[in-house]
Amino acid sequence: MKNKNEEMKKINGDEFAAEQGYANLEEMREALDRMSRMEFKDIDPEELTELTDIEIDDSLSIEERVLSLLRQTKNPYFYRYNGVVVKMSFAEKQTLEDCISNCMYTA
């Protein structure tokens, strides 16, 4: 019987980071860490993605949904919703950082 990690399709983290405009996975992780610590006063609402423009396929695994989210937004922690800035938080045990780490590997 395969465990969940064996069934997941891993992607090359450095390739994904480059796709997102980063030099490598470490640079992307550092940027995401900075974003996770941002506060409302640090945000330019005009640079945020409108939440209603984001489409996530519920049939995808959680890891694939995280990657889809990252592809659709510059900052996965903040969005606009009808002009209002919203900060995402995670009530479940698995954080966004955990999801990213679980679905990528370094080159």
Q: Are 104 and 13 in contact (CB under 8 A)?
A: yes
User: Is the entire prediction scored with pTM above 0.85?
Assistant: no
Closest to 90 (Cα-Cα) out of 47, 36, 51, 54: 36
pLDDT confidence of residue 95: 64
Q: Return the exposure string of 66-81: e unless at least 16 CB atoms fall within 10 Å of the residue's CB, then b.
A: bbebbeebebbbbbbe
Average pLDDT taken over every residue of the chain: 81
Tens-level pLDDT at each residue, the chain (107 residues): 444 444 455 678 889 899 999 999 899 999 999 998 999 999 999 999 999 999 989 898 877 888 898 899 989 889 999 989 998 876 666 566 666 665 555 44
